[in-house]
Amino acid sequence: MFFKQIIDKLRNPHIVNLIGNAVMSVLNMVLIAIFFRYLSMDEMGIWFFFQGTIGLIDTFRAGLITTAFITSYAGNTEERSREIAGSAWYLGSGITVVFIVINLVYLLLPYRIPDGGTDLFIKWFGLVYVITLPSFIASCIAQAEQRFDRLLYIRAVSQILSIVFALVMILTNHVTLMMAVYTGFLAGGIASLMTIMLGWARIDTFKNYSKKTIRHLFDFGKYSVGTSLGSSMFRNSDTYIINFMLGPGSLAVYNLGLRLMEFVETPLRSFAATIMPPLSAAHNQDNKPHVIYILKKYAGMVTIVILPIVIGSLLFSEFAVWIVDKKYVATAAPNVFRIFMTFALLYPVERFMALTLDATNQPQVNAVKLIFMLAANIIGDVLGVLIFHNVYGVALATLLPVVVGLLISYFRLQKYSKFNLLDVYRIGYLETFWLIRDSIKAFKNRNKKVADG
């Protein structure tokens, strides 16, 4: 009975998604650690630039389709679901064709951009989006159906294969920047092929598209894409400013500190992926107090959860960097990591307020908000580099956009339903305390039943 209860709890979508994100974070850090050890600082900087820019452009596709798809697909009839899936395939394919055309035009030109990272990206980004389209659609479907196990499989296959191919490169003494890029293509292609063969991508629904549904997805997504692009540009603006003002070597140092932030990003992403359905349900039932309570509960609990992680990171920053690659311990990487972790305590409340704006049909607020956040980040980054002449200036500047975003979201949500920001932490503490208390009580009751025979 006890083990059955544990299994039932593990089937909870929050737990499945949390475990999935934790596993993916570990696998991602393993892959990055391998590249850190075998590529030079400049090569690592170029690789981060390439990956970051790929992610930025992919945000356009994800922002335009993902949220609109999930809100339209979930809970619908099979016939309607097929129409939505087919329309998403049609829209995604159209976006991919545009990327391919841009890619081919550049390849046909005799001119090449001198910056290594930019040239690498423009040469290959079209192929990336062809390869990843099936797994992208399959991931949208998995989220809409709350099949977080499938989402984990899709991500894990790609990530594990990338690690395996990296180990093969090490064993054959072929660890180069381009081989790292090629193995990423291969791993992503195999993951996409898997989703097609298992039927998870529902590629057979392509013929079920309708112009009306495509238009619906586009009209909804045009607001979300602004939010997603702004959010991605907000993260990647640091990459571009460091790359062009300080060089790819500094970008590698900065990204090592940034990548260690996965300790915080993992619980954030996990809860963010599962908070939308209850928020949307409460809003659709016109239960505003419950919408705000869900916001307070999750933002507060995640803050409490990451607090010991933050404290531990501040104390053992050098050790965390040493595990990845000891040659970076003497660089700015440990202190960059400390700066990020200090600011991380503000991330949950800012992130979940943004999700609440989406769930209450205010995506346009997030789109406008991110323009201000992006402006604050770029201005802060440039001033930071000019003042400090190193990555510390960029790391310190990350506080500005977080505060700007938090304040805009807070004052906008006050118009939806009044609440006190400090209640986030009070309710988060109480919910965490009750969860721990009830878990201990359940454990004691189980032991008592076992003892009583």
Both 222 and 267 in one domain: the answer is no
Mean pLDDT score of the chain: 84
Distance spanning both ends of the chain, measured CA to CA: 13
Q: What's the rounded Cα separation, in Å, for the pair 121 and 52?
A: 10
Please indicate, yes or no, whether residues 186 and 254 belong to a single structural domain of this protein.
no
Classify residue 6: in a domain, yes or no: no
- What pLDDT is attached to residue 3? 43
In a domain, 9, yes or no: no
- Counting residues of the chain whose pLDDT is more than 70, the rounded percentage is 91
pLDDT for 409 beyond 80 = yes
- Regarding whether 278 and 149 lie in a shared domain, the answer is no
pLDDT range class, residue 323, cuts 50, 70, 90: confident
Question: Are 36 and 171 part of one and the same domain?
Answer: yes
Q: Is pLDDT above 50 for 357?
A: yes
Confidence of residue 187 (pLDDT cuts 50, 70, 90): very high
Per-residue model confidence (pLDDT) at position 430: 86
pLDDT digits (tens, 9 = 90+) for 74-107: 667 788 888 989 999 999 999 899 889 888 888 8
Question: 244 near 394, Cβ under 8 Å?
Answer: no
Q: How many separate domains does the chain show?
A: 2
Looking at the fold, whether 263 and 410 belong to one and the same domain comes out as yes
Q: What is the pLDDT of residue 6?
A: 46
Both 188 and 294 in one domain: the answer is no
Owner of token pair 């009209």 = 219
Residue 7: inside a domain: no
Positive or negative CA dihedral for 38, 264, 407, 278? positive
157 and 251 both lie in a single domain: no
Residue 250 shares a structural domain with residue 223: no
The least confident of 4-8, 61-65, 139-143 is 4-8
Residue 11: its pLDDT value, please? 54
Shared domain for 214 and 317, answered yes or no, is no
- Condensed to tens digits (0 to 9), the pLDDT of residues 364-394 reads 888 788 889 889 999 999 999 999 989 999 9
- Domain that includes residue 317, residue range: 246-448
Judge whether 10 lies within some domain. Answer: no
Do 120 and 52 touch, CB atoms closer than 8 A? no
Q: What pLDDT, on a 0 to 100 scale, did the predictor assign at position 20?
A: 67
The answer to whether residue 377 is domain-embedded is: yes
Lowest mean pLDDT among 15-24, 234-243, 437-446: 15-24
Let me know if residue 1 belongs to a domain. Answer: no
Same domain for 257 and 333, yes or no, is: yes
Contact 309, 267 (CB under 8 A): no
Establish if 39 belongs to a structural domain: yes
Is there a domain that residue 297 lies in?
yes
- State how far the Cα of 399 lies from the Cα of 411, in Å rounded to an integer: 19
State mean pLDDT over 324-353.
88
Average pLDDT over residues 422-447: 79
Residues 374, 269 share a domain:
yes
Q: What percent of the chain has pLDDT over 90?
A: 18
